[in-house]
Amino acid sequence: MLTINKTGEEGYLIISLEGEVDASNSVELDEVIQEVINEDIKNILVNAHELQYISSAGLGVFMSYLEDFKEKNIQFIIYGLNEKVMNVFHILGLDQLMNIKDTREAAEKSLHEA
């Protein structure tokens, strides 16, 4: 099960992920990110506090947008990953490519610095 919520904040948008991202629902995540990019939002935060699990298909979704983020100069920051999910990002090496922060504050701070 995966629940995705979008909340607009001042200067950025938060996508909250709740549950598990696997092959069956990674399409939903993909759609939401595509939508946000199309809305021309430049600062995107992903709240992953409630993200229990992410499969390779889910990681594939993030990975496929890395180029877009760079090209369109979009700040895409994930925060609140639990240890297990963080480890998945780490093993694959995505932590080297993505901006991953512990907390929302750290993420916001990173936004302002950029």
Which residues of this chain interact with other proteins, rule CB under 8 A?
Answer: 23, 30, 53, 55-57, 59-61, 63-64, 66-67, 84, 91-94, 96-97
Give whichever of 66 and 114 is closer to other proteins, judged by the CB atom: 66
- Of 13 and 57, CB closest to other proteins: 57
Helix (H, G, I), strand (E, B) or coil at 72: coil
State the nearest-atom distance from the C-beta of 56 to other proteins, in Å.
4
Query: To 5 degrees, how large is the angle CA 54–CA 56–CA 59?
Result: 70
Q: Which of 61, 52, 47 is nearest to 92 (CA)?
A: 61
Is the Cβ–Cβ distance between 84 and 51 less than 8 Å? no
At its nearest, how many Å lie between other proteins and the CB of residue 86? 13
